[in-house]
Chain A
Amino acid sequence: MGQQEDAREQRRTIAVLVDNEPGVLARVIGLFSGRGYNIESLTVSEVDPVARFSRITIVTSGTSMVIEQIKAQLARLVPVHEVQDLSTEGPHIERELALIKVANRGEARIEALRIADMFRARAIDSTLESFVFELTGNPGKIDAFIGLMEAIGTIEVCRGGVVAISRGSIISMVTAEGDEEDDPAPAGRVLVS
Chain B
Amino acid sequence: MTSAAQPDPEPQTRMTGAAIVLKALQDQGVEVVFGYPGGAVLPIYDELFKTNAVRHILVRHEQGAVHAAEGYARSTGKVGVVLVTSGPGATNAVTGLTDALMDSIPVVCLTGQVPTHLIGNDAFQEADTTGITRPCTKHNYLVKSVDNLADIMHEAFHVAARGRPGPVVIDLPKDVLFADGPYRAPSAPRRTSYRPRTTPDQAAVEQAVDLIASAERPVFYGGGGLVNSGPEASRLLTEFVRMTGYPTTLTLMGLGAFPASDRRFLGMLGMHGTYEANLAMYNCDVMINIGARFDDRVTGRISDFSPHSRKIHVDIDPSSINKNVPVDVPVIGDAATVLARMIETWKRKGCQPKQDALARWWGQIDSWRARDCLAYSQDGAVIKPQHAIRRLFEKIRGRDFYITTEVGQHQMWAAQYFEFEEPNRWMTSGGLGTMGYGLPAALGVQVAHPDALVIDVAGEASFLMNIQELSTLCQYGLPVKAFIVNNQWMGMVRQWQELIHGGRYSESYTASLPDFVKLAESFGGVGLIARTADDLEGVIDEMLAVDRFVLADIRVSKEENCFPMIPSGAAHNEMLLGQDDRAEHETSDDGMVLV
Contacts and interface: CB of A to CB of B under 8 A. Distances in A.
Contacts of B193: 18-19, 78-81, 175
B326 A5 contact: yes
Contacts of B195: 176, 179, 181-183, 186, 189
A30 B191 contact: no
A77 B312 CA distance: 25
Contacts of A98: none
B321 A23 contact: no
Nearest to B327: A2
A106 to B, nearest CB: 51
B324 to A, nearest CB: 9
Contacts of A177: 192
B310 A1 contact: yes
Nearest to A31: B135
B199 interface: yes
A40 B140 CA distance: 27
Given A3-B328, A65-B322, A69-B319, A78 B134 contact: no
Contact of B135 (A22, A34, A65): A34
B138 interface: yes
Contact of B159 (A78, A181, A191, A192): A78
Interface string B126-156: 0000110011001110101000000000000
Nearest to B285: A1
A68 interface: yes
A184 interface: yes
Interface string A160-193: 0000000000000001111101111110011110
A175 B192 contact: yes
A27 interface: yes
B201 A184 contact: yes
Given A23-B130, A182-B197, A192 B135 contact: no
A19 B1 CA distance: 13
A75 interface: yes
Nearest to A26: B134
User: Secondary structure of the A side of the interface?
Assistant: loop
B553 interface: no
Interface in A57-79: 65, 68-69, 72-73, 75-79
Contacts of A77: 139
Nearest to A1: B310
Nearest to A190: B318
Contacts of B276: none
A184 B199 CA distance: 6
Contacts of B197: 182-186, 191
A77 B138 CA distance: 8
B142 A23 contact: yes
B332 interface: yes
Please indicate which of the listed interface residues B164, B309, B326 has the most CB atoms of chain A within 10 Å of its own CB. B326
A78 B138 contact: yes
A187 to B, nearest CB: 11
Nearest to A193: B330
Contacts of B49: none
Contact of A192 (B138, B189, B332): B332
A93 to B, nearest CB: 26
B325 interface: yes
Nearest to B321: A192
A65 B326 contact: yes
Contact of B131 (A1, A26, A73, A189): A26
B518 interface: no
B323 interface: yes
Contacts, number: 99
Given A80-B193, A182-B195, A184-B201, A23 B134 contact: yes
Interface string A79-91: 1110000000000
Interface in B190-221: 191-199, 201
Contact of B322 (A19, A34, A69): A69
Contact of B332 (A5, A65, A191): A191
Q: Which of A18, A34, A76 has the most CB of B within 10 A?
A: A76
B202 to A, nearest CB: 9
Interface string A1-45: 111110000000000001100110011001000100000000000
B317 interface: yes
Q: Which of B134, B188, B311, B319 is packed against the most chain A CB atoms within 10 Å?
A: B319
Nearest to B325: A2
A76 B319 contact: yes
B308 interface: yes
Interface string B252-296: 000000000000000000000000000000000000000000000
Contact of A22 (B142, B189, B201, B332): B142
A72 B310 contact: no
A65 B140 CA distance: 28
B123 to A, nearest CB: 19
A27 B138 CA distance: 11
Contact of B134 (A1, A30, A73, A81): A30
A183 to B, nearest CB: 6
Interface in A128-165: none
Contacts of B194: 78-79
A69 B323 contact: yes
B318 A192 contact: yes
A1 B318 contact: no
A176 B195 CA distance: 10
A178 to B, nearest CB: 8
A189 B319 CA distance: 13
Contacts of A73: 319
Given A1-B311, A73-B319, A75-B318, A181 B189 contact: yes
B24 to A, nearest CB: 18
A1 B322 contact: no
B134 A2 contact: no
B135 A30 contact: yes
Contact of B321 (A1, A34, A72, A78): A72
Contacts of A22: 142, 144
Pairs A-B, 6 closest by C-beta atoms: A2-B326, A72-B319, A78-B139, A72-B318, A81-B193, A3-B326
Interface of B: 130-131, 134-135, 138-140, 142, 144, 159, 163-164, 188-189, 191-199, 201, 307-311, 317-319, 321-323, 325-328, 330, 332
Given A2-B310, A81-B193, A185-B201, 12 more contacts: A1-B328, A65-B326, A69-B322, A72-B319, A75-B319, A175-B192, A176-B195, A178-B192, A181-B189, A182-B198, A182-B199, A191-B197
6 contacts: A3-B327, A19-B191, A69-B319, A75-B319, A76-B196, A192-B321
